[in-house]
Structure 1
């Protein structure tokens, strides 16, 4: 099961607009994608904006993205790109 550990670099972290981008990206894949905030022992379904917002992941927080399924590797590449580019905010 592929995974990526990513740090939020945009000023507002996983706020509503950033979370919506993750949901839109995740919806394009068949794989199950989970965003895990290990310091809070909290998981979010990447297709649920409410789950993602519940993580309360601010700038500088680290999250683990885990994907399982036939297109898991490509899903991780595209979600990682969102994080790396600061959701278009930096």
Structure 2
């Protein structure tokens, strides 16, 4: 509630569901979905399943540099970079 009190254009969420149980995680993801029409939401996460569920666009970063950016479906189903593919499929990371 405090994050949206000042009516920002962008919300930054750093691991918003870290250490939460599946029920609480689902509620947070529902909230993210409800807020997406009003705010740009940037989520930093290592949870690939969650990223695939809640995002429209995805950026994969490695060592502080963007390796690949695009529509979430493309990043997860047909990444252009081998490094991205290795990460989203769990081969490293």
TM-score (norm 1): 0.28
The structure with the larger Rg is 2
Higher relative contact order (CA 8 A, sep 6+): 1
